[in-house]
Structure 1
């Protein structure tokens, strides 16, 4: 019966389409010789598949280096004024410049970054318009209406490919209900344990807050207390965190707020708890793998430079992760979490919620250029991304909740099935 229920559910949500672009090897120096595009249409279990390729491009890595250098300079200027991102700062970073000089330099750097962002849009679309890849975009535009909800997952081991501002691709300007995610080329699904929970359970972890303010994050999550069970850990020890991850009831969502960072190659990352305690995903592998089996659907790292963390979590086959691609200003992190939770808990899909939250950050780009570029989903392509409704279905009256999502005909069929 479970299979039949899943078929009904998939049919009722068939307007949500999935596209994966799997970059099978390659790099910017030599090009990407095999790009496998798969489109899942109209609830059909088998995808339409086609292939393309992209040539070598030395300008994109150079543009990223130029942009990253200016972004770092801007962070250092704001750090001199006491406005820090959610990354651990080196204590020796000081300045002898006056505030007037610093504000002048900030103004100049922001103008330079904005010019580089214009280059990003032109260069990225010029590269993606290469005939050997453009056939994939033409097929996308043929298969989907502008009103369709499209999840497009970029699967690549290349760290720069994961850092690219894919939302600048012209396709996303025309398809307002589409959003991009990143993922590893290989994906697997973990068999879940049947754990009974009365409500959605969220583990909120507030780590080292030196130089930043995580109180706003606490308030946003606490506001969900009528909809979900929220358990907060404030500057926990590694033992306290590990113990909570082993919780018998499990968790649906984990949200971390604080400082984090990743290695330059994106291979791994770390986040900071209390008392300068630095943690990696590898150190929590057993407890995290267990909570994933118990139904963990989403991990949010509302902290800096999280691609290394996302990569390590993805290897544990968690359904979905949200991280920041680069260092994130504290106030930007606040606004993103607020906007995302507002959309997500009001019934919008994970992808639409992230896109809307990202786009609402654009108003802050006069002070924090690239703010709307930072949040990114890391998606396990063989898992259905969670929604607030799907989490509620798992922890409430199953039949009553499911029938709310189905048409009258589908509801009648479901009741006939369940009465057998």
Structure 2
């Protein structure tokens, strides 16, 4: 289960800045349960009125290119030729992205990134939800944020400030999709949408093409997992949001309120609007509590929409999570098609709108993963259906022996995994307690102290992650190595949690001695003995010692300056005595 981050943007505007709150929810925590939140921290996004103007500059040029694709003569839009106009659009998009990244590098936002890097690993799968009702903020290119680019398993979604818990229903053996192919007026080619959906046998798709209103009764009569719409749609400020279900009927979304609410109550989990200008539609659909909606932020050419849909379905039908499927589909749209070249900026336009109290939809476990490779079945000839010949019996016995060996090996692997399960579980529990304790400490700190604590925790994490591989490497087989590594991680994490709890309770932590020089001499003696004993892991040992010293220095400076009843000298004695015990443990 992925970790979920919420960046709640509470109040403000681009002229004055925004107040923000970061919340990180762990992998095993109940959805929407604030008590089990790993981290809560506050920050601010500085004012940046020019950012909104840069978006509008790019938007104007992008919509001009899209209008030209639909047949509006380009000379009506600009005196430039098409290639020149496209280059201007590309430059405007680059300017927007660079300005957006700079905005997120402001000093007031730095503590948010620090918390993210402290509590998230590069290999974590992360659903990052921008929690806002602002149309302007929802349009920003959040996927281009440096943090998201560096964490390759992180993906962005949007969530409203208010949401409602609804019942969750399991998907059956196949994903049931109701696909509405609306009006094809203009240059729309909806045949491609149909071909894409039909090509995935792991889903049961029902198509209704240019339906009359009464055909939408299917949403009342049957249970659907996904509602798909392709065609014309619009959501302009001050106007009603609508979809063209056929050539003659422009249907306001508000008139589907009861129909879509009924579909959600029956189990509708995802709505995909592969149509133009979907942010307004998504905002309207939030009122009907559809768990997830995928839309486009701006009008897009149907050729681009087809490319994205195909890439998304290829990923999603392989069992990839909804969020990662969207991220990977956007990357394919940008790098393996002409979409980004022809319409600069188009790849960041698909977006997920998420109810954070509902688990994102996943491809059914029992459904076949796509694409299915049709391998021929090899049928023996009649004269080959015989008892093995004598010369083949030895081969058969050898094959049977290999199979038994393989089964035996699998059993050994399973036993090893079982033995590792409890140490890993203990470490996960220790990590959870540490995060809770750290969160309590952070709540009572000033911004300066909070930033300093972030520095301390980064140093502590480096020390822990250097110490445990070294400590576990001085052992026997690989199973023992992994068990000892988790034991080390748990021990160091629990020690840090005790320190945090003492900070919160404002208790003086016993130093374990009164003379720093004696403690330091003792620590050096033990370290020298370890050097003599262990020469095979010199680099790991040196890394662990160096990172511990850095942690001790910044931790004790913090404790002396910001912790009530804290004392830097006492802290140095305590950490040094504790280090001696740790090194002695490595000698055993």
Class of the TM-score when normalised by the shorter of the 2 chains: 0.7 to 0.9
Residue number in structure 1 paired with 2:3: 17
CA shift for structure 1 position 244: 1.2
2:22 aligns with 37
1:145 corresponds in structure 2 to 121
Q: Structure 1 pair 391/255, CA: closer, same or farther in 2 (3 Å)?
A: farther
Q: Partner residue of 1:244? A: 218
Deviations 1:349-369 (A, max 9, x none): 001100111111114222121
State yes or no: 1:79 paired with 2:79. Answer: no
C-alpha RMSD over aligned residues: 2.7
Check if 1:61 corresponds to 2:52: yes
Query: Does the aligned pair in 1 maintain the 2:184–2:247 contact within 8 Å?
Result: no
Shift of 1:332: 0.4
- Residue 232 and residue 42 in structure 1: after superposition, are their counterparts in 2 closer, same or farther (change >3 A)? closer
Separation in 2, partners of 1:217, 1:102: 32
Q: 1:140 to 1:200 in 2, by over 3 A?
A: same
User: How is 1:249-268 mapped onto 2 (pairs within 5 angstroms)?
Assistant: 249-264=222-237
**CA offsets per residue over residues 59-98 of structure 1, 9 Å max, x none?**
0111111111111222233233xxxxxxxxxxxx55778x
Aligned to 2:363: 388
Q: Map 1:102-117; keep pairs closer than 5 Å.
A: 105-117=81-93
Give the deviation of 1:371 after TM superposition.
2.0
1:161 paired residue among 113, 137, 140: 137
Paired residues for 1:288-303 under 5 Å? 288-303=260-275
The answer on whether the counterparts of 2:66 and 2:300 sit within 8 Å (CA) in structure 1 is no
Q: CA offsets, 1:137-162, max 9 Å, x none?
A: 11111111112111001111110100
Alpha carbons of 1:290 and 1:36: their partners in 2 closer, same or farther (altered >3 Å)? same
> Counterparts of 1:316 and 1:203 in 2: how far apart (Å)?
17
What does residue 149 of structure 2 align with? 173
Match of 2:195 in 1: 219
* Deviation readout 1:373-400 (Å, 9 max, x if unpaired): 111111111111011036959xxxxxxx
Provide the rounded CA distance (Å) in 2 between the counterparts of 1:102 and 1:24. 39
Label 1:283 to 1:391 Cα distance change in 2 as closer, same or farther (>3 A): farther
Count of residue correspondences: 365
Contact conserved, 2:22 with 2:41, CA < 8 A, in 1?
yes
Query: Would you say the 8 A contact 2:69–2:301 is kept in 1?
Result: no
Superposition pairs of residues 306-385 of structure 1, within 5 angstroms: 306-362=278-334, 363-364=337-338, 365-385=340-360
Q: Contact 1:268 / 1:308 at 8 angstroms: preserved in 2?
A: no
Contact 1:271 1:280 survives alignment (8 Å)? yes
Alignment TM-score, normalising by the size of structure 2: 0.58
> Taking structure 1 as reference, are residues 173 and 286 closer, same or farther at Cα in structure 2, changes over 3 Å only?
same
Q: 1:319–1:383: 8 Å Cα contact kept in structure 2?
A: yes
CA shift, 1:280, in A, is: 2.5
- Give the conservation status (yes or no) of the 8 Å contact 1:207–1:258: yes
Q: Distance in 1 between matches of 2:266 and 2:55?
A: 39
Partner of 1:206: 181
SS at match of 1:347: coil
Deviations 1:294-326 (CA, angstroms, capped at 9, x unpaired): 111110000111001111112222111100010
What corresponds to 2:501 in structure 1?
A: none
Gaps in structure 2 of 5+ consecutive residues: 31-35, 369-414, 419-588
**What SS does the aligned partner of 2:271 have?**
strand
* TM-score w.r.t. length of structure 1: 0.81
Contact 1:25 1:157 in 2 (8 A): no
Contact 2:173 2:367 in 1 (8 A): no
**Residue of structure 2 equivalent to 1:274:** 246
Separation (CA, whole Å) in 1 of partners of 2:311 and 2:44? 37
The CA distance in 2 between the partners of 1:74 and 1:279, in whole Å, is 27
> Does the aligned pair in 2 maintain the 1:258–1:303 contact within 8 Å?
yes
Give the corresponding residue for 2:112.
Answer: 136
Q: Is the 8 A contact 1:268 1:311 kept in 2?
A: no
Distance 1:142 1:382 in 2: 25
**SS, match of residue 4 in structure 2:** strand
Does the aligned pair in 1 maintain the 2:182–2:231 contact within 8 Å?
yes
- Aligned 8 A contact 2:4 2:27 in 1: no
Residue 290 of structure 1 deviates from its aligned partner by: 1.0
**Following superposition of structure 1 onto structure 2, how do residues 381-420 of structure 1 map, counting pairs within 5 Å?**
381-389=356-364
Instruction: Give the deviation of 1:104 after TM superposition.
Output: 6.4
Contact persistence 1:202–1:229 (CA under 8 A): yes
Report which structure shows greater RCO (CA 8 Å, sep ≥6): 1
Query: How far is 1:190 from its partner?
Result: 1.4
Specify the alignment match of 1:185 in structure 2. Answer: 161
What is the CA–CA distance in structure 1 between the aligned matches of 2:171 and 2:136, rounded to whole Å?
41
Q: Name the residue aligned to 1:234.
A: 209
